[in-house]
Amino acid sequence: MNAPVFEIVITVQPADIDGQNHVNNTVYLRWVQDVATAHWESLASVEAQTAIGWVVVRHEIDYQMAANLGDEILLQTWVGEASRLKFERFTEIHRKARPQRTSGTADRQLLAKARTLWVPIDWKTGKPTRVPDDVREKFSV
């Protein structure tokens, strides 16, 4: 059984573009973090959000194809293995559609994929903390 997938759609902005006239690699990393944060905020209770913060201990990103100004981007994320002290998160970044297309169909081209390891921290102490079972179960199977 697969973990539930969380999705958001964004549009590439002028500030995302680098000197090579495509989305800068660091923007993909920001998107990985943004969709993970949105996923957390969509499912975690206010109580969990005020008690638990997250830090990244590892990012792995495989770039497949460039995104360009105006592209609609589909960010998809899900949690893989989730222990009490480490969450493995996967993200796929797809081009949803190109603005110049008139057919209205999305091409769903894979632009990048990432695997990230996140560690929960106690907001008060800044130290790693355990995620309660009921919270962990909302994000993984």
Three-state SS string over 84-138 comes to CCCEEEEEEEEEEECCCCCCCCCCCEEEEEEEEEEEEEECCCCCECCCCHHHHHH
Q: Is residue 91 part of a domain?
A: yes
At residue 21, the pLDDT reads: 94
Q: How many domains does the chain have?
A: 1
**Average pLDDT, integer, range 43-56:** 95
Structure tokens at 128: 């790693």
At residue 135, the pLDDT reads: 86
Q: Is residue 60 part of a domain?
A: yes
CATH classification at residue 84 = 3.10.129.10
Structure tokens at 105: 């169909």
Q: Is residue 89 part of a domain?
A: yes
**Average pLDDT, integer, range 134-141:** 82
At residue 93, the pLDDT reads: 98
Q: Is residue 66 part of a domain?
A: yes
Residues 54-110 pLDDT 10s = 999 999 999 999 999 999 999 999 999 888 789 999 999 999 966 555 455 557 899
Confidence of residue 136 (pLDDT cuts 50, 70, 90): confident
Given a cut of 50, whether residue 1 has pLDDT beyond it is no
At residue 106, the pLDDT reads: 54
Question: Whole-model pTM?
Answer: 0.88
- Between 54 and 131, the higher pLDDT residue: 54
Q: Is residue 77 part of a domain?
A: yes
At residue 140, the pLDDT reads: 77
Q: Is residue 1 part of a domain?
A: no
Given a cut of 80, whether residue 4 has pLDDT beyond it is yes
